[in-house]
Copies of this chain bind each other. A is one copy, B any other.
Amino acid sequence: MRARDLAVEFPTVTLDTPALEAARLLADRDLPGLILIGDDGLPHSILPGTQVLRLAVPAYCQDDPALARVVDEAHADRFLHRLDGRTVRQCLPEEPRELPVAGPQATVLELASLMARTHSPLVAVVAGKRLIGAVTLQSLLDHALQL
A positions within 8 Å CB-CB of B: 1-2, 23-24, 26-27, 30, 32, 48-51, 53-54, 56-57, 61-63, 65-66, 68-69, 71, 73, 75-81, 107-110, 112-121, 137-138, 141-145, 147
User: How near does chain B come to A83, taking the closest CB pair, in angstroms?
Assistant: 10
Chain A at the B interface: SS class: helix
Contacts A53-B137, A107-B71: A119 and B48 contacting too (C-beta < 8 A)? yes
Which chain B residues lie closer than 8 Å to A119 at the CB level? 48, 50-51, 119
Contacts A27-B138, A141-B27: A115 and B76 contacting too (C-beta < 8 A)? no
Q: Is B50 a contact of A113 with CB atoms below 8 Å?
A: no
Contact of A23 among B56, B68, B145 (CB under 8 A): B145
